[in-house]
Amino acid sequence: MSEYNQPSPPPPPLNAPPEPSAGAGSAEERQWAMFAHLSALVGGVVTTGWGAFIGPLVIWMIKKDTMPFVDDQAKEALNFNISVGIIFLALLLMSIMTLGIGLIIAIPAWFIVGIGWLVVTIIAAIKANEGVAYRYPLTLRLIK
pTM: 0.79
Q: Would the pLDDT of 44 be above 90?
A: no
Q: What is the DSSP letter of 21?
A: P
**Range(s) of the domain holding residue 61:** 25-130
Q: Is residue 118 part of a domain?
A: yes
Strand, helix or coil at 115?
helix
Task: Tell me which amino acid residue 84 is.
Answer: V
Q: Is residue 2 part of a domain?
A: no
Q: What is the mean pLDDT of residues 84-96?
A: 95
What total of structural domains would you count in the chain? 1
- Between CA 144 and CA 138 the distance in angstroms is 16
Q: What is the mean pLDDT of residues 60-78?
A: 94
Task: Tell me which amino acid residue 5 is.
Answer: N
pLDDT at 1 (0 to 100): 52
pLDDT at 23 (0 to 100): 54
Q: Would the pLDDT of 20 be above 70?
A: no
- Between CA 64 and CA 85 the distance in angstroms is 23
The burial class, CB within 10 Å (0-12 / 13-18 / 19+), for 28 is exposed
Q: Is residue 4 part of a domain?
A: no
Q: Is residue 7 part of a domain?
A: no
Q: Is residue 37 part of a domain?
A: yes
pLDDT at 114 (0 to 100): 92
User: How would you classify residue 131: left for phi > 0, otherwise alpha for psi between -120 and 50, otherwise beta?
Assistant: left
pLDDT at 4 (0 to 100): 60
Q: What is the DSSP letter of 6?
A: S
Q: What are phi and psi of 91, to 5 degrees?
A: -65, -35
pLDDT at 49 (0 to 100): 78
